[in-house]
Amino acid sequence: MGLGTVFLSHYRRHPGQLAGLLLILACAATLWSGVRSLTGRAEDAVAQSRAALEPRLSVLRADGHAVGVEDFARLRRAGLCASPRLQVYLPASEAPEIVGIDPFTAACLRQYSGGAAVVEELLAGPGRPLLLGNARDLARWRQLSLPGSGDYRLQPAEGVPPGLLLADIAVAAELASSGRAELEILLPAAELQGRALPPGYTTRVEDYGVEPESLVEAFLLNLDALGALALLVAALLVRSIYRFALEQRRRSLEILVRLGVPVARLRLVLAAEVLLLAVAGGTLGVWLGGMLASALAGGFQSTLSGLFSVDTLAQSPPALETWLGMVLILALVVGWACIDLLLLRRGQRDTAPEGGRRQLVPVLVALVLVAVSLLVLLATEKLWLVFLAASGCLVGAGLLLPALLDRLLAGAERRSRAAGKASLWEWSCSEMRALCRLLQLPLVALAFAIAASIGVQAMVTGFESTFGRWLDQRLQGDLYLDPGRPVATATWNKQLQRLPGVKTVLPMVRGRGLLDGQAVDVMAVDPASPLVQDWPLLAAVPEPWAALAAQGVMVNEQLARRQSLAVGDRVRFRLGSDSLSRQVIGIYADYGRPEGELLLPLALVPDSLPGRYTTYVLGVSDTATPGWQDWPEQYPWLAGGRLRDQPGLKRAANAAFARTFRMTRLLNILTLALAGTALALMGLVIFRLRQRSYTLLHVYGVPRRQLRWRLVAHSMLVTGLLAIVATPLGVFLSWVLVARINPVAFGWSLPLELYPGFWLQVWLASLLIGALVGLLMRNPVRLETLKNE
Amino acid sequence: MNSLLRLALLALILAGCGERAGNNEGGESLGALSDAPGQFRQALPGMTVRLPEDMGAHRQYRLEWWYLTANLQGAGGERFGVQWTLFRFGLEPGPFENPEPGWHRNEVWLAHAALSRPGDHRFAARSARGGTGQAGITVRPFRAWIDHWQLESDEGKPWSLAVDGGEFAYRLQLQPRLPPVFHGERGFSAKSAGGGGSMYFSYPMLAIDGTVQVDGQDFPVSGRGWFDREWSSQYLKPDQQGWDWLALHLEDGRHLMVFRLRGADPYFSGTLVEADGTTRNLSAGDFSLQPREYRDSRFGRVPVAWQLRVPAANLDLVVRSWPGDYWNPGSLRYWEGPVSVSGSHAGEGYLEMTGYGN
């Protein structure tokens, strides 16, 4: 009979244990790989779509003529990293737009930098006409069967937004004769910081838009942290179950050793078992994680595309690396759990605890760990240290929690003894203390799951509401108009006011200024406009908009943090040739961009402001009337401008966040369920161990029914108490996420908000888990446990 | 012969198989140089060089380059090596139907710039489609450019080269001290015994001064350079694996260019330029070129010290690469680095090697 059979026989006798182990491993792998897969895909997608988001300039000729190939050459010869884009609109209905780029210079635009696949494709065949796009657009192109279109090689490609086909600019130029073509020469905005534009050219900002990738990154980083926490929870659970198995197997292993099996061989087989478990659990988990990610991908993608113009989220099966990584991580987790088994016979553990002193040491260690970690957390500005310190705090708190529960229950026990209350209550207290001791690890895991739920919920909800408010500010009004070129602000103001249905016009002038010798963005608005009155501000004097008109300036959060500015400080800055000094009267949130920004009254900004560019927000009587879409055709002076329906955008953004929120909640529930299931599994075994004490009480006359309810009450009290004790840990976790990790990683913080309503839900869930564990143990009284007495 | 390598690189990038080719050693990676000329015109024995026209582009040919290497010294004795190369790769044979500027796809330009110091090698590259004016060549006045990198000369004035590679830059004046030398048979330089070759001439001695900028520090420099012009549509035979090329300036005023094509049947050729500019062609029987020492570099073992003997010219030289790693990266990387010369004569120059490494 081989060792394998002996090992198998253990699990044959305890199938629940094997199932539990595999379940926990698979759940942990599912959560982790699912979250990683989603965030990984999202990171790729965000990277791909950056071009749409980066501040980009389109170069214009000062003489008003359209730019051409000679202008491109002139800009390149001036050393500017410019790249052309030729958009061709074919007259056929629903014809995909042809976008021609120059693969030799495309790397200047972030979208195509770093060896973008589409650029490689185009580079591979400048001699072969090639059109890249998604399958639908390529099929549409085939249907159109335009004259000569058969000469083009069509190739499906990822990362090309729907509705357009990407081609070499020479190919697009050939197609231009069959439709309307528009050439733009694009330049990253940062390019003009080092070099000047040659005379005869100006630029306009191609897209000021929200630049939210750092917001997305923050969000993904936090989700990853959640995934890591799930893994930590799983590690604790696996260890607890495995240690349990150790106790059950110690005897049989000892017998094997006595029968002559070398200890080294035993360890080897144990290690093989660990690896096998990890592979089985990991494989199942990675597969399930792929399914989880696919199930969530729809909502996730809508979120990203709604808010961040991320077009495609690549669907890819879990890679071999993911699987291998997962197995490795799980092997570590299980390996940690079975260290005791591997150290078999190395010193039989003394069974009798030495009492108070011995218990005090880990508590002291945990306290010191928490204190040091907290200090580091508050002092450091390094991201990895923040993560390390936060982990230190968590581990320390995890060590402290069972001790804390024990103290609480011991206090209750003492009080009941002193008050001479029913001795049954005293017994209950000591019974619950025993539970805390025996279920230490799964309880800590549950505490972490509870803390994670609370922390992540606060983070996501805070994100949602903050972003919502911020969108409210940015998308104030009904319509947004980008004139498509620099315009005379006041003249356009008047013209726009004459448009049918337009009630209010808010010009927003942007440009560049200098503060302490550093370039900053400048934005100017009309402080009297009703459209700005509701803008939320992080800090402000009373009547900020009146103060802005009179003598003030507002700064964004990034600038305030960078320059240590507070309301009331004076700042000196230059706008073109004007030098000004004004008082900071407000600080506003400005998520998504790293740049500092000054907000000024319109009247203060000179016409010569460098990079001056005006956009408008319009209040109209009714956006539902379709007329506004036709304005650029109807009014020649509006031609080339872009109009956007703000409430529609806002609705889409809010809906997208609602979906994200649902998804995060689902992940939370999964983590809690994982911890709950493990606790239930363990609880079953532990309660069976405690049956003796219940049975004794029954013998002494306590009715069986009452004992049964008492057991349920014990279980619920322990989990309920744990939930309450873990809540501050959750608050701490959300504080770390929004107030420490975000500022260190991205330069701005989100406000920390507490959601006691959600705490109640989590507490309720914990009580339910407790009740479940208690109820599973149908009858705590078994007279046969007394047999040996 | 100078940057055959470069051409291969470009061609391979364009063929979309750069990575695969980069892993191949030998013949296949040089496919672009050994492809049949097809519609392009081929360099053949009997063709001659005409100046200044041949400083311009040859659009009937597939591949050509303008290639400068220079050994420079700073005022404080610092040593610098400079390489600047412009390549033209024809996608279809010219002359082109539509010479107007536009978005064409008939040729591609590529430029490589490198700055070397002992133990330090920096590299930058640029590419452009032909036809836009972003890159190009004019003959009168001579001007070769891509973006803001430019080599130009006005009638009677020194040439000037301006390159800004981001982390390094140079502005140099170059004065040809000797007339151009035509390699091989009046400019037709054979690359194998069985045919295949290129039109090839060089300015063997350029007196150089100017400024090199690296890490934000400016160094006034002076020194000597070698400038190659070469064009063809099929350079190599399919069984040739790579080459070793040397261009040297000797202390006695002579200059020497030799190359060895490695293959089943190695092919040797060279040109010795006397101090007065007169030239002597060298063939396999006239000189020997043997690797003596190897160095473990980033991409594998490469020969870095060479024994070069030209008995009839009383030359017995040891050519040694500067310490360091002089690979120019890319899917088809090549070694392009400065060398010191000792032995019967002292001197300096450049070593180019292809087809080595992992």
Instruction: Flag if B14 and A123 touch (Cβ within 8 Å).
Output: yes
Contact A405, A436 (CB under 8 A): yes
The verdict on B152 touching A (C-beta cutoff 8 Å) is: no
How far does the CA of residue B42 sit from the closest CA of chain A (Å)? Answer: 20
Higher pLDDT, A662 or B135: B135
Test B128 with A105 for CB contact under 8 angstroms.
yes
Q: Which residues of A touch B133 (CB under 8 A)?
A: 69-70, 73-74, 77
Interatomic CA distance for residues B142 and B150, integer angstroms: 10
Set of chain A residues whose Cβ sits within 8 Å of the Cβ of B147: 76-77, 79
pLDDT bracket for residue A593 (50, 70, 90): low
Taking an 8 Å cut-off on Cβ atoms, the answer to whether B103 and A127 are in contact is: no
Q: Give the best residue of B105, B137, B151 to mutate against chain A (max A CB count within 10 A).
A: B105
β-strand pairing of A97-101 with A83-89 = antiparallel
- DSSP state, residue A224: H
Proportion of chain A above pLDDT 70, given as a percent = 74
Question: What backbone phi and psi angles, to 5 degrees, belong to A342?
Answer: -70, -30
Looking at per-residue confidence, does A215 or A258 come out higher?
A: A258
Q: Is B312 inside a domain boundary?
A: yes
- The answer, for B100 touching chain A at a CB cutoff of 8 Å, is no
Contacts of A120 in chain B (CB under 8 A): 16
pLDDT at B10: 44
Residue B320 forms contact with A (CB below 8 Å):
no
Taking contacts as CB-CB distances below 8 angstroms, the residues of chain A near B132 are 69, 72-73
Residue reference for tokens 């279109």? A149
Residue A592's DSSP bridge partners are none
Whether residue A618 contacts residue A647, with contact meaning beta carbons closer than 8 Å, is answered with no
**Cα–Cα dist A160/A312, whole Å:** 8
Q: How far is A128 from chain B (nearest CA, A)?
A: 9
- How far B86 CA sits from the closest chain A CA (Å)? 15
3-state helix, strand, coil in chain A (%, to 5): 60, 15, 25
The angle that helices A263-308 and A213-258 make with each other, rounded to 10 degrees, is 160
Cβ-defined contact of B105 to A79 (cutoff 8 Å): no
Give the count of beta carbons closer than 10 Å to the beta carbon of residue A250.
16
Give the up-direction half-sphere exposure of residue B85: CA atoms within 13 A in the CB hemisphere: 31
Residues of A in contact with B101 (CB under 8 A): 69-70, 73
Residues pairing with A181 in the sheet: A88
The phi, psi pair for A155, rounded to 5°, reads -140, 125
Please write the tens of the pLDDT for every residue from A68-123: 999 999 999 999 999 999 988 887 767 888 999 999 998 888 667 666 778 888 87
The runs of H, that is alpha helices, within A554-645 are: 557-562, 631-634
C-alpha torsion angle, residues A631, A635, A640, A646 (rounded to 10) = -30
CB within 8 Å of B215: residues ≥ 6 apart: B167, B168
Name which of B16, B91, B127 is nearest A104 (Cβ-Cβ): B127
How many Å lie between the alpha carbon of A483 and the closest alpha carbon of chain B?
29
Contacts of A63 (CB under 8 A, 6+ apart): A200
pLDDT-derived band at A143 (thresholds 50, 70, 90) equals: confident
Could you give the ipTM of this predicted complex? Answer: 0.90
Ranges of each domain in chain A: 1-55+213-346, 58-207, 357-458+683-776, 484-640
Look at residues A114, A88, A110, A112 and name the one whose alpha carbon lies nearest to residue A99: A88
pLDDT digits (tens, 9 = 90+) for A265-297: 877 787 787 778 878 888 888 888 877 777 766
Q: Do B148 and A169 touch (CB under 8 A)?
A: no
DSSP secondary structure letter of residue A111: G
How would you classify the pairing of strands B107-117 and B255-263? unpaired
B281 CA: distance to closest CA in chain A (Å): 39
Residue B358 inside a domain? The answer is no
Task: Give ∠ CA A111-A117-A122 in degrees, rounded to 5.
Answer: 95
Answer with the residue of higher pLDDT: A319 or A27: A27
Residue B169 and residue B216 in contact, taking contact as beta carbons nearer than 8 Å = no
Residue A355: the pLDDT is: 47
Residue labelled with tokens 């905005």: A189
The pLDDT assigned to A748 comes to 62
- Flag if A69 and B103 touch (Cβ within 8 Å): yes
- Answer yes or no: is pLDDT of A651 > 90: no
pLDDT > 90 fraction of chain A, expressed in percent and rounded: 7
pLDDT of residue A54: 53
Q: Which of B102, B105, B145 sits opposite A126 (nearest CB)?
A: B105
Q: How confident is the model at residue A360 (pLDDT cuts 50, 70, 90)?
A: confident
Q: Do B133 and A125 lie within an 8 Å CB cutoff? A: no
Q: How far is B200 from chain A (nearest CA, A)?
A: 27
Measured between beta carbons, which residues in chain B are less than 8 angstroms from residue A70?
101, 133
The dihedral formed by the CA atoms of A412, A417, A422 and A426, expressed in degrees to the nearest 10 = 50
Minimum-distance CB partner of B16 among A70, A84, A125: A125
Tell me if chain A has a CB within 8 Å of the CB of B132: yes
Nearest to A76 among B104, B105, B147 (CB): B147
Assign residue B143 the CATH number of its domain: 2.40.370.10
Closest CA to A457 of A711, A693, A691, A667: A667
**Model pLDDT, residue A209:** 38
Size of interface A-B (CB pairs under 8 A): 69
**In whole angstroms, what is the distance from residue A348 CA to residue A459 CA?**
47
Across the interface, whether the CB atoms of A78 and B13 are under 8 A apart is answered no
pLDDT digit string (tens) for A719-736?
888 888 888 888 888 888
**Which DSSP state fits A314?**
-
**Do the beta carbons of residue A61 and residue A71 sit within 8 Å?**
yes
Q: According to the model, what pLDDT value does residue A43 have?
A: 62
**Residue A20: band (very low, low, confident or very high) from pLDDT cuts 50, 70, 90:** confident
- Cβ-in-10-Å burial (0-12, 13-18, 19+) of A255 comes to exposed
Averaged pLDDT of chain A: 77
Closest alpha carbon within chain B to A119: B16
Residue B91 counted as domain residue: yes
State the pLDDT at residue A114.
Answer: 61
The residue among B190, B180, B181, B188 whose CA lies nearest residue B284 is: B190
Query: A402 or A349: which carries more pLDDT confidence?
Result: A402
Q: Is residue B112 part of a domain?
A: yes
Min Cα separation A568/chain B (Å)? 41
Cross-chain residue pair B129–A170, CB shorter than 8 Å:
yes
Average pLDDT over residues A446-474: 74
The strand pair at B79-90 and B135-138 is best described as unpaired
pLDDT digits (tens, 9 = 90+) for B186-218: 999 998 887 778 999 999 999 999 999 999 899
Q: What does the DSSP 8-state code read for residue A740?
A: I
Judged against a pLDDT cut of 90, whether residue A443 lies above it is answered with no
Mean pLDDT across the stretch A127-150?
81
Identify the band that residue A477 occupies on the pLDDT scale cut at 50, 70 and 90. Answer: confident
The minimal CB distance from A69 to the residues B91, B102, B127 is found for B102
The whole-number pLDDT of residue B13 equals 42
Phi, psi of B357 (to 5 degrees): 90, 175
Task: Give chain B positions within 8 Å (CB) of A184.
Answer: none
Stated length of chain B = 358
pLDDT exceeds cutoff 50 at A348: no
CB contact under 8 Å between B148 and A173, yes or no, is no
Q: Is the dihedral of CA A559, A560, A565, A568 positive or negative?
A: positive
Chain B residues with CB-CB distance to A69 below 8 A: 101-103, 131-133
Which of B71, B66, B1 minimizes the C-alpha distance to B248? B71
Q: Mutate one of A75, A77, A102 to test the B interface: name it (highest B CB count within 10 A).
A: A77
Mutate to test the interface with A, among B134, B145, B163 (most CBs of A within 10 A): B134
Closest by CA position to A249, among listed A225, A275, A270: A270
| Chain A residues whose beta carbon lies within 8 Å of the beta carbon of residue B104 | 170
In eight-state DSSP terms, residue A64 is: S
Chain B residue at shortest CA distance from A183: B103
How would residue A421 be classed by pLDDT, with cut points 50, 70 and 90?
Answer: low
> pLDDT-based confidence at A347, cuts 50/70/90?
very low
CA distance A124 to B14: 5
Range of B69's domain? 4-353
State whether A78 and B148 contact (CB < 8 Å): yes
Of A234-243, A699-708, B45-54, B346-355, minimum mean pLDDT range: A234-243
| Cβ of residue B98 closer than 8 Å to a chain A Cβ | no
Q: Which residue has the higher pLDDT, B112 or A667?
A: B112
pLDDT band at A559 (very low <50, low <70, confident <90, very high): confident
Residue A131 region by backbone torsions, left for phi larger than 0, else alpha for psi between -120 and 50, else beta: beta
- Please count the structural domains in chain B: 1
Q: Rounded to an integer, what distance in angstroms lies between the CA atom of residue B69 and that of residue A204?
A: 42
Please identify every stretch of chain B with a pLDDT value under 70, giving residue numbers as ranges. Answer: 1-35, 331-332, 358
Residues in chain A with CB shorter than 8 Å from the CB of B90 are none
Three-state secondary structure readout of A234-265: HHHHHHHHHHHHHHHHHHHHHHHHHCCCCHHH
Q: Which of B91, B132, B134 sits opposite A127 (nearest CB)?
A: B91
How confident is the model at residue B76, as a pLDDT? 93
Q: Which residue has the tokens 């200098």?
A: A514
**Is some CB atom of chain A closer than 8 A to the CB atom of B108?**
yes
Kindly list the residues from chain B whose CB atom is less than 8 angstroms away from the CB atom of residue A86. Answer: 103
- The answer to whether residue B23 neighbours chain A at the CB level (below 8 Å) is no
Contact A77 B101 (CB under 8 A): no
CA B159 to chain CA centroid, nearest Å: 18
Whole-angstrom distance, CA of residue A330 vs CA of residue A317: 20
Q: Express the helix, strand and coil content of chain B in percent, nearest 5 each.
A: 10, 55, 35
d(CA B139, CA A465): 66
Integer CA distances (angstroms), B97 to A69, B92, B131, in order:
18, 11, 11
Report the gap between the CA of A76 and the closest CA in chain B (Å).
5
Ranges A215-224, A442-451, A542-551, most confident: A542-551
